[in-house]
């Protein structure tokens, strides 16, 4: 679990586990809708995931820290397929 927008959430770890296993880097890319029926592409600083489980967790936390400002600035544009906002007990 990690913190996102003041809540404890369980974000998917698959992309970070795959990066750990393959040595690939994570390139955070988001889009936002802009006036005039336009989209804006936001490319954030790429980052790697180390070789152990704690590095996977750190990758998830880094992604959450990148995502949160967009979530706060564009809350009406946020969609998610899985309800990870439910209260989680992590341990």
pLDDT, tens digit (0-9, with 9 covering 90-100), for 27-37:
999 999 999 99
Asked if pLDDT for residue 2 goes beyond 60, the answer is yes
* pLDDT of res. 7: 82
Measured CA to CA in angstroms, residue 8 lies from 52, 69, 81 at distances of 22, 16, 17
Q: How far is 9 from 39, CA to CA, in rounded Å?
A: 28
pLDDT, tens digit (0-9, with 9 covering 90-100), for 44-90:
999 999 887 788 989 999 999 999 999 999 989 987 766 665 655 66
Q: Are 5 and 40 spatial neighbours (Cβ–Cβ below 8 Å)? A: no
CA 75 from centre of chain: 15
Q: What's the pTM?
A: 0.81
């Amino acid at each position: 679990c990690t913190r996102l927008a003041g809540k404890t959430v369980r974000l998917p770890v698959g992309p970070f586990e795959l990066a750990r296993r393959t040595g690939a880097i994570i390139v955070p890319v988001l889009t936002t809708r802009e006036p005039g029926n336009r989209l804006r592409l936001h490319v954030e600083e790429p980052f790697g995931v180390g070789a152990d489980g704690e590095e996977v967790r750190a990758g998830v936390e880094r992604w959450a820290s990148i995502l949160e400002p967009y979530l706060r600035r564009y809350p009406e544009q946020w969609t998610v397929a899985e309800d990870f906002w439910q209260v989680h007990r992590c341990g």
